[in-house]
Amino acid sequence: MNVEISNSWSEVLKGEFDKEYFKLLSKFVEEEYANHTVYPPEGLVFNAFEKCPFEDVKVVIIGQDPYHQPYQANGLSFSVNEGVRLPPSLCNIYKEIYRDLGVEITASGDLERWSRQGVLLLNSILTVRADNAGSHQKQGWEQFTDFVIEKLASERENLVFMLWGSYAQQKGRNIDSSRHLVLTSAHPSPLAAYRGFLGNGHFSKANIYLKLHDKEPINW
């Protein structure tokens, strides 16, 4: 697997790429792309890191694995390519931003605009086989992204972590809430959004915290 990752992240993560689990993961991913349809496109597997350098991260939003339908996944959690119909979870994210901040809902589901401002849109698993959600679980991605979260939590200060749903909350269980703002709620999926995601106020809380620590708020 060709690891295309920005210089700042490459420096932070360089030792991880040499570990045996990552070599096995790379072999698995290469075989999957060679023999199946896999999302996102190979060049976008590390897109979240490319668009948001380590030193620029202000907010971390943790997803699970990429969308598994054609043209959707672009390497950013919850994001879809321009012109693609908004998935239900993203619709609910936009609804909460409107309720929380009054920002009008847009037809574009491409969240690169957030990444450019310092929002790391990190899936726990970075690849998936077409039409088969969760198909690349337990191959090593979880260990890799655990390490990413650990490095952010230990080497940066005053970040905002948005942990939506039990999966993300388990993923962020070791984040020191005395050093960072850790926001938790139900997941924005239609099955859970009305049980605590809608109304959570995470987007305004994040911006208040960022301003309190002399950081530019996010234009959600």
What number is the average pLDDT over the span 160-183? 97
Exposure of 29 in the CB half-sphere (CA atoms within 13 A): 25
Give the residue-averaged pLDDT of 172-194.
96
Q: What was the pLDDT predicted at 26?
A: 96
pLDDT at residue 32 in the model = 97
Closest CA to 108 of 133, 135, 78: 78
Structure tokens at 87: 């998935």
pLDDT given for residue 99 in this prediction: 98
3-state helix/strand/coil string of 173-191 = CCCCCCCCEEEEECCCCCC
Omega into 70 within 30° of 0, i.e. cis? no
Q: Any idea how long the chain is?
A: 220
- Diameter over CA atoms, the chain: 50
pLDDT beyond 80 at 122: yes
**What average pLDDT does the chain have?**
96
- Catalytic positions: 65
CA distances from 210 to 54, 65, 204 (A): 17, 27, 10
Per DSSP, which regions of the chain are E strands?
Answer: 38-39, 59-63, 119-123, 128-129, 160-164, 181-185
Residue whose token pair is 């911006």: 207
Tokens 């050093």 locate to 179
Residue 77 pLDDT level (bands cut at 50, 70, 90): very high
Least-confidence region, from 9-13, 86-90, 114-118, 120-124: 9-13
Tell me the per-residue pLDDT of 19-73, one tens digit each, with 9 for 90 and over.
999 999 999 999 999 999 999 999 999 999 999 999 999 999 999 999 999 999 9
2 — pLDDT class (breaks 50, 70, 90): confident
Mean pLDDT over 139-148 rounds to 98
Q: Is pLDDT above 90 for 7?
A: no
